């Protein structure tokens, strides 16, 4: 199992709009690709020196191959949609995590 983790710092001027959009539009769109089995959105509980509010959204997928299919088939479109809605008000970075064990 893999986690595709997207950590984003949200400008406070669009924070509420972004949270609503993520819950109602973007996360459902990500799941609709068929590449992820579920998603978890969590708030990072630190005060950012640069301001804004930080979230981590974790999308669960079955394999590195499935994640690569997401990159090849869907990532560009979904990332462009985020930029179209929020431009420079959202700064994101992405990491891939491999689940080793769960207890």
For 62-84, how does the pLDDT look when each residue is reduced to its tens digit (9 = 90+)? Answer: 999 999 999 999 999 999 999 99
Residue 84 · residue 25 · CB < 8 Å: no
Q: Is 80 exposed, middle or buried (0-12, 13-18, 19+ CB in 10 A)?
A: exposed
- pLDDT at position 103 is 92
- pLDDT at position 4 is 98
The arrangement of secondary structure in 2-98, i.e. its CATH architecture, is 2-Layer Sandwich (3.30)
Residue 21 · residue 103 · CB < 8 Å: no
**Residue-range domain boundaries for the chain:** 2-98
- Averaged confidence pLDDT in the chain: 95
For residue 7, the tally of other CB atoms under 10 A from its CB is 16
The CB-side HSE value for 99 (13 A sphere, CA atoms) comes to 14
Q: Per the confidence metrics, is the pTM higher than 0.85?
A: yes
Mean pLDDT of the 87-92 span: 94
């Amino acid at each position: 199992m893999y986690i595709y983790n997207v950590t984003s710092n949200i400008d406070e001027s669009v924070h509420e709009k972004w949270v609503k959009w993520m819950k109602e539009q973007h996360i459902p769109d990500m799941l609709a690709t068929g590449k992820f089995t579920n998603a978890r959105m969590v708030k990072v509980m630190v005060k950012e020196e640069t301001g804004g509010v930080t979230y981590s959204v974790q999308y669960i997928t079955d394999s590195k191959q499935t994640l690569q299919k997401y990159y090849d088939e869907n990532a560009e479109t979904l990332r462009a949609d985020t930029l179209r809605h929020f431009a420079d008000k959202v700064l994101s970075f992405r990491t891939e995590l491999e689940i080793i064990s769960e207890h």
